[in-house]
Structure 1
């Protein structure tokens, strides 16, 4: 009885994290599109790069939420060999997506340090 309640509670927590990730993606995209529309008239050279950076960071954060939900669901709720293999595949796919986002938005490889454009110092 108690394990059923705990099982449902953990399943609900994983679902809540996934819903939070979807809400985060949606809000971030709407916010950045509105911000881009407002600042479109400026047309500075940094305009498009900042837009891509903001969208990329939002997607990376939401991918972390989705991985956390998958880990909770796989490890705690359904710890079978098949579910662990599926989790590994999902983590690899999301890692690849995260790296692709970094490469696209920041024009650097994920393991390279992020430099400021005008100097060789690291950004904080």
Structure 2
């Protein structure tokens, strides 16, 4: 690790770690959304559980969008800065 830090500036190491951690969190959120949908449909299909699922999916989707914006500096539906 010490050799890695000597070859690269501190800021680029921190940026790379943040990018990788953010990508891992995004993937985890997607798996959690899929797991909640499968659980609700397969195990507990009531109006109340569907309502709770909808709220949870909305919250996790909002978190995914904001994390995506934080990682890339733009919203997911915007063009990359290189393409502008």
* Shorter-chain TM band: 0.7 to 0.9
Q: 2:26 aligns with which of 54, 57, 60?
A: 60
Structure 1 residue 52 displacement after superposition: 1.8
* Alignment partners' CA distance in 2, 1:114 and 1:49: 18
- Shifted more, 40-49 versus 59-68: the winner is 40-49
Distance 1:60 1:84 in 2: 23
Unaligned 5+ segments in structure 2 are none
SS at match of 2:13: helix
Aligned residues: 83
The Cα offsets for residues 31-83 of structure 1, whole Å up to 9 and x where unpaired, read as xxxx7x77444216533332222111110101111111100111111110000
Preserved contact between residue 63 and residue 98 of structure 1 (Cα < 8 Å): yes
CA contact (8 A) 1:49 1:105 kept: no
* Residues 1:72 and 2:35 aligned together: no
Runs of 4 or more above 4 Å deviation: none
Q: Is the 8 Å Cα contact of residues 53 and 105 (structure 1) preserved in structure 2?
A: yes
